[in-house]
Amino acid sequence: GFFKRTVQKSLQYICKDQSMCFINKFSRNSCPPCRF
């Protein structure tokens, strides 16, 4: 659902940590721009 909503609504995310966040199944909800 996350990727579909992002594309359909043309959402723009901005990472607060210069897109250097570590993404795994536990922390994926903490930074949407890095997940996308």
Mean pLDDT, residues 14-36 taken together: 85
pTM of the full predicted structure? 0.57
Q: Rounded mean pLDDT of the chain?
A: 86
> Among candidates 8, 6, 10, which has minimal Cα distance to 35?
6
d(CA 5, CA 3): 6
**Domains along the chain with CATH numbers:** 1-36 (3.30.50.10)
Can you give the pLDDT at residue 5?
A: 87
- Using a pLDDT cut of 70, give the percent of the chain over it: 100
Full DSSP string of 1-36? -HHHHHHHTT-----TTTT-----TTTTTS-HHHH-
CB 9, CB 28: distance < 8 Å? no
Residue range 18-30: average pLDDT? 84
